[in-house]
Structure 1
Amino acid sequence: MSQNFIHIPALLKPEEIVEIESLLTKASFTDGKLTASMAAKEVKNNLQIDATDDSNLQIQKILNTAIQQSPLFNIAALPKAIHPFIISKYTSGKYYGWHVDSPMMGNPAIRTDLAMTIFLSNPSTYEGGELLIQNGSNLVSFKPEKGDAVLYPCQFLHCVNEIKSGERLAAVTWIQSNVKAPEQRQILFQLNQVHSVLYQQAPNAAETNLLLQTHSNLFRMWADV
């Protein structure tokens, strides 16, 4: 895990990917600008599944089951509420320019602490289409394997590079965390990682229990409930 971004390998199982791909062949897509904020409409040039499409509803169930079963996602995001996924399609010439996500989304509204992109296309099948995130003076690029996900705080400017050839499919969602501050989530994540190692080595050691106690007390102190 980097300071701000988490790559979740194989978030989707192979059989889940196959089922989603089958559903995508039946889905109807609309202009992505329909769900963009006023500022984002100027830079959003993609397609997305109609929210009322039967295929979309089935894909939502598969994706929600996958994230519920992902220990890494749940440890890192500490989710309180999750926005419905938007399934997007980028074909040749499509892109999503530099933008920052809306601070509140949905009805009822949730605070967008984190965003997550689940990649639904093999990277070798399309040219371009990288997810770029501006982290201070550093530009971070993601183009992982099909079924992988990238989780990142919403305060960063980000974009999807123009597709030169092929087709890029992805599912995007936003998460309200039980811990609002990214720095605090980072500390809790790191403590959890260290505790996991200690637990494997000495599950009943005083140090292992003390670290778990520290993690629990900090989570209790910072929890936004």
Structure 2
Amino acid sequence: MMLHVPALLSKAQVQHIRERMQQEKQWISGTKTAGHQAQKIKNNLQLNTESELYINLNQFVTQTIKNNLLVQSFALARDILPPMFNCYQDGGTYGNHVDNAFQWSRLQQKNIRTDVSMTIFLSEPDEYEGGELIVEDSYGSHEVKLDAGDAILYPATSLHRVEPVTRGARIASFTWIQSIVKDDWQRSMLFNLDMTIIQLRQKIGDCEETLALTNHYHNLLRQWGEV
């Protein structure tokens, strides 16, 4: 299951991030953070994670992710890897791949299981040509190219790629989330149930039926969740 989160970052927040990136050019080759196999198909730039700019931006984006209720309901986050930032230009691309099952977090000093992948677009669609995120899984093949500030979340088990950017620059932030519910199907069920409960509350309030569904939701979360 995929989730489109509109305006995770406001236009003003995106503009601030982009202005900071222009003032401090601290981009390095994306192959420096890629494994041996990924180096053969990865051609992009990434913001240097040793820079002060990166530290400031990643803290801001992390807090924004944590504060978003839709992301919370969908991902049921236990841990969020510090977001990174990349840039595709001049034919930059990333071929078909599946993300590593675990990523080391220097900040938390532990491995984090990658259950949910997340991309936050920081360039408007008309700023570049190509650069579509293609996600393929049992739920089909999806082409993603969103407005600046919008985010897409999808299972990290999905095969995905970034098409070559033939004009302009595609700038984005990306991260992975370890969920308290490991199984994607179970997370999808819980998310759909949570959205249904919210819609019912808006229509009919906290009646006996909505309270019963809420009890079912928490009992399923108790059954499937891990702490």
TM-score of the pair, normalised by structure 2 = 0.95
- Please give the residue correspondences for 1:34-53 in structure 2 after superposition, counting only pairs within 5 Å: 34-53=32-51
- Please give the residue correspondences for 1:101-180 in structure 2 after superposition, counting only pairs within 5 Å: 101-107=99-105, 108-136=110-138, 138-180=140-182
Post-superposition shift, 1:92? 1.6
User: For residues 99-126 of structure 1, what are the alpha-carbon distances to aligned partners after superposition, in whole Å with 9 as ceiling and x for unaligned?
Assistant: 1100000141011001000000000010
SS at match of 2:78: strand
1:13 aligns with 2:10: yes
Greater CA deviation, 51-60 or 136-145? Answer: 136-145
RMSD between superposed Cα atoms in Å: 1.1
Number of residue pairs matched?
222
1:97 aligns with 2:78: no
SS at match of 1:180: coil
SS at match of 1:106: strand
1:87 aligns with 2:85: yes
Post-superposition shift, 1:136? 3.8
Post-superposition shift, 1:95? 0.4
Alpha-carbon separation, structure 1, partners of 2:131 and 2:4 = 17
Change over 3 Å in CA distance of 1:109–1:137 after alignment to 2: closer
SS at match of 1:89: strand
Post-superposition shift, 1:135? 1.9
User: For residues 157-179 of structure 1, what are the alpha-carbon distances to aligned partners after superposition, in whole Å with 9 as ceiling and x for unaligned?
Assistant: 10000001110001010010010
Alpha-carbon separation, structure 2, partners of 1:166 and 1:177 = 35
In structure 2, the partner of 1:204 is 206
SS at match of 2:37: helix
Unaligned runs of 5+ in 2: none
In structure 2, the partner of 1:75 is 73
Unaligned runs of 5+ in 1: none
SS at match of 2:193: helix
Change over 3 Å in CA distance of 1:138–1:190 after alignment to 2: closer
In structure 2, the partner of 1:187 is 189
User: For residues 78-111 of structure 1, what are the alpha-carbon distances to aligned partners after superposition, in whole Å with 9 as ceiling and x for unaligned?
Assistant: 0000111120011121100111100000141011
Post-superposition shift, 1:204? 2.6
SS at match of 1:98: strand
User: For residues 14-51 of structure 1, what are the alpha-carbon distances to aligned partners after superposition, in whole Å with 9 as ceiling and x for unaligned?
Assistant: 22112211211114000100111222111110000000
Change over 3 Å in CA distance of 1:214–1:112 after alignment to 2: same
Q: Percent identity?
A: 36
TM-score of the pair, normalised by structure 1 = 0.96
Alpha-carbon separation, structure 1, partners of 2:139 and 2:203 = 39
Contact 1:91 1:163 in 2 (8 A): yes
SS at match of 1:173: strand
SS at match of 1:101: coil
